[in-house]
Structure 1
Amino acid sequence: MIRTLLLAATVLAGTTALASAADLPRRAAPPPVFTPVPVFTWTGFYAGFNAGYAFDASNDSANTFGIPAAFATTAGTTASFRQSSQDGFTGGGQIGYNFQFTPGSGLVIGLEADAQYVDFGRDRRSALISGGALAAGFSAVDPRGLSSLDFFGTVRGRVGYAFDRVLFYGTGGFAYGSGSADRSFGGFNGNDDFRTGWAAGGGVEYALPTDSFLNFFRSSAVTLKVEGLYVNLDRGNRRQGALVIDNAANTAVAFSAIGRRDDEFAVVRAGLNYKFGSY
């Protein structure tokens, strides 16, 4: 009897304990950890390369040079040089820095420098001879203008507005260029081989998504751009007219007094940049 009473008391105590535990407040589960989605920013240094096409934008359609009688078969022989027909491939690289005032969408300012090869020199000796012919062993060339330009570069400011990963911008600043006309014609020093000027233009740039097949680095730091640029290089007014060349000696034996001419050309190019720092 006593054993039965003890067993019943034990069962009753256990049941009471379970009921009391069930009435206790349950511990709340911890809140989920919130991970904010990174906001893309254009701020940072970048470097890349570009390629495109350049073509003459000057107002000069032709220059005519009277060949001195000593170097022509007929008096009154002339040589005409078309300047506006110059065009060719251009390619090079760029480096720069952008600063975006507000991540996501907002004002972006920056500075960019580039150096470019340009294929204008292939038509350097192209001339239309009229009224006679050049004497044997001589040729005519106009080393001015785009025909002597082999490379150019710019240092430009950029101002634009970003809509998240799309940036529209304008750009402008200092430009320079040089050619090989002096070295190509027996060291003749009548040209201004190095020239300076200005450049202006604009473009649009897009930051590739991480999963894009063009994003080789699999990061948010690869951008593509399409840009148009107008370049004006001042040649000055030194002896830079058309020349008669002694082909055997590769030296200039006569030159015209044609003066100043600006080198004006336009560039349309596409480029790829790697921005250091993903966001």
Structure 2
Amino acid sequence: MIRQLFLTSTATALLMGAAAAADLPRREPPPIFTPVPVFTWTGFYAGFNAGYAFDASSRSNAATIVNLPAGSPLVVGPLAPSQVVFGGRQSLDGFSGGGQIGYNYQFTPGSGFVIGFEADAQYVDFGRNRNRFLLTPDFAPAANIAFANPVGLAGLDFFGTVRGRLGYAWDRTLFYGTGGFAYGSGGGREFGLPNNSTDDFRTGWTAGGGLEYALSSDSWLNFFRSSAVTVKVEGLYVNLERNNRNNGLFAFNAATGATFLAPGFIARNNPIEFAVVRAGVNYKFGTY
């Protein structure tokens, strides 16, 4: 009897212990830690930009006046002296837009120094007002005669740069300086000037700086499924040498090709100087 009671008590205790153990929380394995990727600017990129360019020279904007003697074959009107007056604006202002490609290398992902290079090609709308002039009242240009500003104000169809970049990044924000080689061409044929063409190639240098910020790869701007999309604001100063072969020319005959030099004007080789302020978007390819 005693043995039967002992066995019954033991069985009951074991059943109660099992039930209590079932009520205890189960031990789960610790969650797997997945580190958040640290952004780096290292990688190739390509993009486009648009902005505005304007004159950055220190030259005087005074009007240019050419005096014509009485009976000049360049004009028709009374037999009296006359004048051709050209505006003093440099005409270096207008829309600028184009594209760029480049590569960055960041020494320490997250925050740190960034070096790189960039090349761009830009359309530019310069020289629209170059040849605006006024004649003495009651005078008009003679047949086939066209006038051109004798100081040789510049015009460009396009320009481009090849630059180095050096900056410092705080995670997705990059401040940088940039500088290097610049080139440009154009601004002749549309004015009808003889011995000039839109292939008048010029070279020089450029310097500037900017601010760039990286968006996430799932940004609505990421049309090309790149690893990141960056937006930037940039300013550049551009200095190009200028061919001086038409400086001093103020009139020509479109039918015969005859040219006329303005008295007292000599050929000068003033550089083309302008600044560009632009915004752009880049698509970065490579590491996160």
Task: Determine whether 1:267 maps to 2:273.
Answer: no
Using the alignment, how far apart are the partners of 2:53 and 2:32 within structure 1? 54
Partner of 1:121: 127
Identity among equivalent positions (%) equals: 59
Assess if the C-alpha contact under 8 Å between 2:126 and 2:187 holds in 1.
Answer: no
Name 1:50's counterpart in structure 2. Answer: 49
Alpha-carbon distance between aligned partners in 2 of 1:266 and 1:91, rounded to the nearest angstrom: 13
Q: Is the 8 A contact 2:47 2:282 kept in 1?
A: yes
Q: 4+ residue stretches of structure 1 with deviation over 6 A?
A: 8-11, 13-20
Over the aligned positions, Cα root-mean-square deviation in angstroms equals 3.5
Unaligned runs of 5+ in 2: none
- Which letter maps to 1:100? Q
Q: Which of the numbers 110, 120, 128 marks the counterpart of 2:116?
A: 110
* Alignment map for 1:79-158 (pairs within 5 Å): 79-130=85-136, 133-142=140-149, 144-146=152-154, 148-158=155-165
3-state SS of the aligned residue for 1:122? coil
Correspondence 1:228 to 2:231: no
Q: What is the identity, as a one-letter code, of the residue corresponding to 1:258?
A: A
- The TM-score normalised by the length of structure 2 is 0.79
Aligned positions of 1:1-279 closer than 5 A: 29-60=28-59, 61-62=61-62, 64=64, 66=66, 69-73=72-76, 74-75=80-81, 77-130=83-136, 133-142=140-149, 144-146=152-154, 148-182=155-189, 184-185=191-192, 187-189=194-196, 193-216=200-223, 220-248=227-255, 251=257, 253-256=259-262, 257-279=266-288
Paired positions, count: 273
Paired residues of 1:87 and 1:119 also in contact (CA < 8 A) = yes
Aligned partners of 2:46, 2:215: CA distance in 1, in Å? 15
SS where residue 77 of structure 1 aligns? strand
85 and 62 in structure 1: CA distance in 2 versus 1, 3 angstrom threshold: farther
Write the distance in 2 (CA, Å) between the matches of 1:92 and 1:192: 19
CA distance in 2, matches of 1:252, 1:206: 56
CA contact (8 A) 2:122 2:160 kept: yes
Q: Normalising by structure 1, what TM-score?
A: 0.81
AA matched with 2:75? A
